[in-house]
C-alpha cells in the first residue's frame, strides 16, 4: 500500500500574528481530518508578506504533500496568497472564466456592480481549478495538491470538507492509528529515554511517546508513556507487543505505573 501523503496547513494573515484575531483553523482542520481517518503532519503560520509566502510555497510545492491554505485570497491590497502561489509555481496569473461567471451571478443577485475589484477574486495561477464556496459563492482554488480557501471560518471549513471529500476520499480511513499507554509515576524522563529508544529500534514502525504532567489535586506528577503506530492490523499487533515489552521493562525497573 502506498504511503498516505503528508497533510499540511498554512494559515495566512498579519492579524493572526499580531494577536488582533485568534486562530480557529488549526483545531477545526484537525477535527475534520480525524473524522475522515486522516492526520495533520505540519502547520505553518505566515503574515501577509508576499516574498515570504512565495518562498514558503516554493518549498511546499516541491514536496508531495497535500496542503490546505487559509487566508489571503481576497481582492484587497493586503491579500497576496494568489500571486505568491503563481510566483512559486512560475506560472502567470490568469482570470478564470468559471470564477468570473460566479462573481457576475453573485453581483446580479445582490445588485452590486461587476467591477475590477470584485473580478480580481477570479485571478488564479494558470491551471487552477475552483473550490466551491457555499457561503457567498466566491470560489477558492486548487493547484498542484494545494487548496486555497478564504480566512473566514464560515467559508473555509465547508470548503475544506469539500476538498477532502472530493479529491481525497480514497485516502479516508485507509489506515488506522493504534495506541496503548500508561501513567508513569516517580520516574524522570531521562531514565526512560533509553528504554524508548531501544523499543523503537526493536519494534520498527512503532513510536514511543512521553507527555509529562505536573499533576493536580487529583493526580500526582506523572508521565503519560505510550506506544503508537499507524497502519493495518499488523501494526495493531506490533503495538500490543511493544507495549507488553514496555510494561515488562518498567516492572523490572520497579516503576510505579497505572494503565490508561
Q: Do 223 and 155 share a domain, yes or no?
A: no
Q: What is the CATH number of the domain that holds 219?
A: 3.30.70.260
Q: Do 79 and 45 share a domain, yes or no?
A: yes
Helices and strands counted in the chain (H then E)? 9, 12
Integer Cα distance of 71 and 148 in angstroms: 8
Integer Cα distance of 130 and 102 in angstroms: 11
* Residue 116 forms part of a structural domain: yes
Q: Do 133 and 13 share a domain, yes or no?
A: yes
* Residue 183 forms part of a structural domain: yes
Q: Do 15 and 107 share a domain, yes or no?
A: yes
Q: What pLDDT, on a 0 to 100 scale, did the predictor assign at position 176?
A: 85
Domain count, the chain: 2
Of 171, 188, 223, the last residue of a domain is 171
Shortest CA distance to 229 belongs to which of 190, 198, 194, 203? Answer: 203
Return mean pLDDT, the chain.
95
Q: What is the CATH number of the domain that holds 96?
A: 3.40.980.10
> What is the mean predicted confidence (pLDDT) over 72-76?
92
What is the per-residue pLDDT across 157-215, written as a single tens digit (0 to 9) for each?
A: 999 999 999 999 999 988 888 999 999 999 999 999 999 999 999 999 999 999 999 98
Q: Which helix (H) or strand (E) holds 250?
A: helix 233-252
Per-residue CA distances from 243 to 201, 227, 232, 234 (Å): 14, 6, 17, 14
What is the per-residue pLDDT across 79-91, written as a single tens digit (0 to 9) for each?
A: 999 999 999 999 9
Integer Cα distance of 198 and 208 in angstroms: 10
Structural domain boundaries enclosing 92? 7-171
Torsion, Cα 155 161 163 164, to 10 degrees, reads 160
Categorize the per-residue pLDDT at 1 as very low, low, confident or very high, splitting at 50, 70 and 90: very low
* Residue 199 forms part of a structural domain: yes
Amino acid at each position: 500500500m502506498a504511503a498516505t501523503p503528508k497533510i499540511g496547513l498554512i494559515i495566512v494573515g498579519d492579524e493572526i500574528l499580531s494577536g488582533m484575531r485568534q486562530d480557529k483553523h488549526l483545531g477545526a482542520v484537525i477535527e475534520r481530518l480525524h473524522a475522515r481517518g486522516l492526520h495533520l503532519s505540519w502547520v505553518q503560520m505566515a503574515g501577509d508578506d508576499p516574498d515570504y509566502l512565495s518562498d514558503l510555497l516554493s518549498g511546499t510545492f516541491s514536496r508531495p504533500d497535500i496542503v490546505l491554505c487559509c487566508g489571503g485570497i481576497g481582492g484587497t491590497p493586503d491579500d497576496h496568497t494568489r500571486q505568491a502561489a503563481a510566483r512559486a509555481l512560475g506560472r502567470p496569473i490568469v482570470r478564470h472564466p468559471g470564477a468570473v461567471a460566479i462573481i457576475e451571478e453573485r453581483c446580479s443577485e445582490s445588485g452590486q456592480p461587476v467591477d475590477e475589484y470584485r473580478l480580481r477574486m477570479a485571478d488564479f495561477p494558470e491551471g487552477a481549478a475552483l473550490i466551491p464556496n457555499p457561503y457567498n459563492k466566491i470560489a477558492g482554488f486548487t493547484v498542484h495538491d494545494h487548496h486555497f480557501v478564504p480566512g473566514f471560518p464560515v467559508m473555509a471549513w465547508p470548503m475544506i470538507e469539500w476538498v477532502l471529500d472530493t479529491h481525497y476520499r480514497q485516502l479516508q480511513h485507509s489506515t488506522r492509528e493504534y495506541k496503548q499507554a500508561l501513567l508513569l509515576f516517580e520516574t524522570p524522563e531521562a531514565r526512560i529515554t533509553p528504554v524508548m529508544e531501544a523499543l523503537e529500534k526493536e519494534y520498527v514502525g512503532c513510536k514511543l511517546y512521553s507527555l509529562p504532567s505536573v499533576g493536580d489535586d487529583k493526580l500526582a506528577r506523572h508521565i503519560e508513556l505510550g506506544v503508537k503506530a499507524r497502519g493495518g492490523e499488523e501494526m495493531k499487533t506490533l503495538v500490543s507487543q511493544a507495549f507488553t515489552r514496555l510494561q515488562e521493562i518498567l516492572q523490572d525497573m520497579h516503576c510505579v505505573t497505572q494503565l490508561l
